[in-house]
Amino acid sequence: MVLHEHRTPLRLEDRPAPEPGPGQLLLRVRACAVCRTDLHIVDGELPRPKLPLVPGHQIVATVEQGGNRFARGARVGVGWLGWTDGTCHYCRTARENLCDQARFTGYDVDGGYAEYAVADERFCFALPDAYDDLHAAPLLCAGLIGYRTLRLAGEAERIGIYGFGAAAHLVAQVALHQGRRVFAFTKPGDADGQRFARELGAEWAGGSDEMPPEQLDGALIFAPVGALIPAALRATAKGGTVVAGGIHMSDVPGFPYELLWGERAVRSVANLTRDDGHAFLAIAGLMKLRVEAQRFPLEQANIALESLRKGKVRGAAVLLP
Ligand SMILES: [Zn+2]
Ligand SMILES: [Zn+2]
């Protein structure tokens, strides 16, 4: 499925399988989850995707050809970070997620809304066996970015999660597993979403316009709504951190300094490092996350994107070729 122009539907096209370059694997795609970032790319909210583009950066695939790290037929995962230069200041200081030259899957290079893809083998992950293809795919961004977002909230015990979709439903389980307490915030009035959050172990769930019963020590924001930053600060105790996990947000409205005072912090999460990937997949292998996945045939990618846009997907949408 190919994006030719912003704000137009993806087009189904027959293409020859891509040729792997040096160090790349030719992959047969088994599943590719749909991320809100894909929606931002299609909608033209991110500056410079390659066009035409095959989107998709949560790829579960088997190795058809190439490489040294994985045997032919091995199952691998491909995430958003597709390549880094390894030499810039950020790469040399364990922050490859900020690499100036980084290339991203399904943005700078073609991704997984396809039957075949190529990927640099150094950026592919081995996947825990406990998850089938459908349920492994959402781990690769929703899970991974969610995990990095949680990590950047530090040792916070009472975690608020704003926007209870694909990333949130996974990160909530990791947070509970780590002994933290989870408070879930959905769109006001989203009773289904709130029930879902409670089912997963959130001790409180309510609308993003409500105050939690206790102050939060950290807040994770996964909905692309800038107004949630002051809302989350208002719910956060002194010394707490508000972490924005998305790649794009509407503008953040002004707010009184008092909300930030008391050593509260606001920060964003950009991309991920391979270390985050290994750490998160190791946890996922140990704890058997409940992954809520809704399957769509690959050719229904536009329908899957539209469902995500309307907030109609419970958990993660996953395309199966
Ligand atoms: Zn993503
Ligand atoms: Zn770099």
Q: What is the pLDDT of residues 109-125, one digit of tens each?
A: 999 999 999 999 999 99
Do 102 and 84 form a contact (C-beta atoms < 8 A)?
Answer: yes
Calpha distance 319→321 (Å, rounded): 7
Q: Where in the chain is the domain with CATH 3.40.50.720?
A: 144-268
Phi-psi region of 234 (alpha: psi -120 to 50; beta: other; left: phi over 0): alpha
3-class DSSP state for residue 103? strand
Calpha distance 198→300 (Å, rounded): 31
Binned average pLDDT, 10 residues per bin, the chain of 321 residues:
96 95 96 95 93 98 93 97 97 96 97 98 97 97 94 97 93 96 96 94 97 98 96 98 95 97 97 95 95 97 96 91 96
Calpha distance 201→3 (Å, rounded): 38
Indicate the pTM of the whole model.
Answer: 0.93
What's the gap in Å between 52 CA and the centre of ligand 2?
A: 25
What's the gap in Å between 94 CA and the centre of ligand 2?
A: 10
Range 24-140+272-320 classified under CATH 3.90.180.10: yes
> What are the Cα distances from residue 269, in Å, to 8, 138, 146, 245, 262?
28, 18, 9, 5, 22
Calpha distance 317→171 (Å, rounded): 17
Which numbered ligand comes closest to the C-alpha of 80? 1
What's the gap in Å between 103 CA and the centre of ligand 2?
A: 10
Do 319 and 304 form a contact (C-beta atoms < 8 A)?
Answer: yes
Which numbered ligand comes closest to the C-alpha of 88? 2
Residues flanking ion ligand 1, Cβ below 5 Å: 35, 37, 141
Do 273 and 97 form a contact (C-beta atoms < 8 A)?
Answer: yes
CA angle centred on 245, ends 216 and 93, rounded to 5°: 105
At residue 73, the pLDDT reads 96
Q: Where in the chain is the domain with CATH 3.90.180.10?
A: 24-140+272-320
CATH class of 144-268: alpha beta
Average of per-residue pLDDT values in the chain: 96
Backbone φ and ψ for 111, nearest 5 degrees, come out as: -110, -145
Neighbouring residues of 107: CB distance < 8 A, sequence distance ≥ 6: 37, 41, 46, 49, 50, 53, 55, 57, 80
What's the gap in Å between 142 CA and the centre of ligand 1?
A: 6
Do 159 and 218 form a contact (C-beta atoms < 8 A)?
Answer: yes
Percent residues over pLDDT 70 in the chain? 100
Do 137 and 75 form a contact (C-beta atoms < 8 A)?
Answer: no
